[in-house]
């Protein structure tokens, strides 16, 4: 089982739609969680951190479910500019330190 798993998509949605992505992780000792956005041939950019209580930033809502070991990202009122690959990232302990592991990424295409 991969340490961090995502549905690769692609998710093709019309403008204005609401779309949700899930990400599961295998290490229950994982400490922190993030959603990144990556545009084609560019480096990933932090979209938002994910907190236990859930957090919202404009049209984006992230939630964490520690019991089930998954995080989610909800995008409301999709824009064409939201088209990108969304990567979940999990910070997990490793040999006395920590490491950040990326999910496989979920491709989103917002259609006009």
State which residue, 26 or 104, has the beta carbon closest to other proteins. 104
Among 62, 75, 84, 89, contact with other proteins (rule: CB under 8 A): 89
Contacts of 9 (CB under 8 A, 6+ apart): 106, 107, 108
Q: CA dihedral defined by 98, 73, 55, 80, rounded to 10 degrees?
A: 120
52 interacts with other proteins by CB under 8 A: no
Among 14, 41, 68, 112, contact with other proteins (rule: CB under 8 A): 41
State which residue, 43 or 58, has the beta carbon closest to other proteins. 43
Among 9, 70, 76, 102, contact with other proteins (rule: CB under 8 A): 102
- Distance CA(65)–CA(83), nearest Å, equals 26
State which residue, 14 or 96, has the beta carbon closest to other proteins. 96
Identify the residue whose tokens are 């909800």: 74
Among 28, 53, 68, 97, contact with other proteins (rule: CB under 8 A): 97
Instruction: Give the rounded distance of the alpha carbon of 84 from its chain centre.
Output: 12
3-state helix, strand, coil in the chain (%, to 5): 5, 60, 40
Residues making contact with other proteins (CB under 8 A) = 32, 34, 41-46, 49, 87, 89, 94-95, 97, 99-105
């Amino acid at each position: 089982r991969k340490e961090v798993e995502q549905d690769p998509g692609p998710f093709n949605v019309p403008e204005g739609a609401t779309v949700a992505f899930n990400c599961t992780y295998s290490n229950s000792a994982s400490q922190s969680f993030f959603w990144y956005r990556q545009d084609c041939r560019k480096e990933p950019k932090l979209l938002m951190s994910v907190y236990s209580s859930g957090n919202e930033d404009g049209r984006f809502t992230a939630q964490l479910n520690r019991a089930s070991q998954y995080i989610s990202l909800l995008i409301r009122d999709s824009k064409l500019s939201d088209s990108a690959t969304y990567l979940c990232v999990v910070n997990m302990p490793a040999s006395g330190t920590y490491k950040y592991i990326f999910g496989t990424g979920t491709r989103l295409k917002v259609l006009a």
